[in-house]
Structure formats: structure tokens, C-alpha cells
Copies of this chain bind each other. A is one copy, B any other.
């Protein structure tokens, strides 16, 4: 699983800082999460192939999380895209994008499919044989969701030494990886656990931005491997966090601890601060494995 941060600053795009957008490379999917202004340029900078993006998840309809979307959709069209594009986001997103494109008489020539969200409860919004995506209801000034990306448990791993020892034919291998026992010619049944190892741990990534400090999201993201939690403010501005529906780094650390995640990544910094290290230090007062997002940074898990 690889996470690429395209932008992780709050509010407005600037010369050297971009609003929220990231790409999660998970089980051959390239999921785009949020799409602030300039996202398509950031995708080019990171050399991410546009054609690999088939699903875009939009947390909420503040400009710094979706004003890059009409341009990206238009660029896909100019590049001759034919593949479906799925967009998951709050109700209203379809009307807005449709209007922006309609005014230019430039509807897409590829299928553009909107999945509008209205639920206040966590729900499954995407699933295939390898991955699930669930919403994480957030508490912000407007309707907002985070997203929980979960790998499904993979196949069991073949114990080559054991299957060789038992003289088992290759044609049984897929069944064994699927968890089946094997009956030998002798009639003896070899239980699956003698022939396989456990599959690798299925990983999960929880994206939570924008949100105020909200313990209600703990059960949804519990035991996730990686949590990206917004930290717009430092502790000295906790009152601003409360007023604007955002969190401090320390509060992000608290959520990480309560949810028992393995790694916390901080982002959505207010540009009022010069030194991002303070975010790490304050979150570390609550939780000990803290990383700092930055534009262009990649995290491999």
C-alpha cells in the first residue's frame, strides 16, 4: 500500500503548498482522495498516470477539497479517456460538476458516475474481491465523510515444503490457498493449516479530514494500520479548532491512541505556522508513532 500526498495544507493553494489531495495505491487501485485546486498539476508532478484513476472520493464540499475536480474531469476528456470514472461525495456534487461542464458545452465522452452520499452512519460504498471502502462520518461545519480503505484478507500462503513432502499435485494448490483440506490417495486427510501459512495481514488506511475532535469516529477506525487525521491547529489555537470544526495535533494524537492505530499521519496544516515539527511534538504527547504529511511525500506500508 502506498500513499502519495499531493497536497496537505488547509485553505488556499499557494506557490509551495497545495490544498488537500492524495492518492492511495492499494491492490492495483489508484484511489484519489479529495481534489483541491491544482490537483491535476500535482498528479503530473508525481508522474501518476491519469488513466489509472477510476475512483475519486470527496470528503466534503469546501473549495480546498474539491475545486480541482471540474478541471481534472475536463482534462480526462481532453486526453481521450474512455474508461468509467466514479465519484463519491456529498449530495450536490453531481449538480455542481454537471453545471460547470454544461456551461462550457463540454460534457465528458466517458461515463461519469456519481455516488452521492447522505448517510450519517458509516456505510460500505465500494467493494471488489480485494478492497472495501467505508465512509467515516466526520463532524465539520458542513456534511463531511472520511474514508476507510480496507484490504480484504488474501489467500493463505502455500507451504511449499509441506505440499512437496505430501506429494500433492499442483492442481490442488488453488483450493489449498482458498483454505481447503486435501485428501491423499491413501485416504488420509491433511488439514489445511499443515499445508499453508496465514495470509499477510490485510492493511487498512483511514482518512479523516476535515473534522473537529470527535470520539464517535473511534469505533469506525479502530485498529486501523494508518490514520491520516487533520491537524489544522496547534494547541495554542484550540479555541479556533473548536470554532471552525477542525482539530489540533494533540487531539489527532488522542484519536490515534483511542482507536489503537499503528501509525498516525498529520496534515491539513494551517499556513499560519512556519514549523511543522511542532505538530509532531504535540501529537506525540498523546501517541508515539507520528508522521508528518507534506506535499509530494510518499508513504509505503
Contacts and interface: CB of A to CB of B under 8 A. Distances in A.
A141 B95 contact: no
A48 interface: no
Interface in A73-96: 74-75, 78, 90, 92-93, 95-96
A31 interface: no
B92 A96 contact: no
Contacts of A61: 103-104
Contacts of A99: 95-96, 99
Contacts of A67: 67, 70-71, 74, 100
A32 to B, nearest CB: 16
A45 B100 contact: no
Interface in A38-91: 38, 40-41, 44-45, 60-64, 67-68, 70-71, 74-75, 78, 90
Interface residues of A, number: 36
Contacts of A64: 74
A289 interface: no
Given A37-B71, A38-B37, A67-B71, A14 B44 contact: yes
A106 interface: yes
A68 B95 CA distance: 18
A176 B67 CA distance: 54
Interface of A: 11-15, 37-38, 40-41, 44-45, 60-64, 67-68, 70-71, 74-75, 78, 90, 92-93, 95-96, 99-100, 103-106, 141-142
Given A11-B75, A64-B74, 12 more contacts: A12-B40, A12-B78, A14-B44, A15-B41, A37-B40, A37-B68, A60-B104, A61-B103, A63-B104, A95-B99, A103-B142, A104-B142
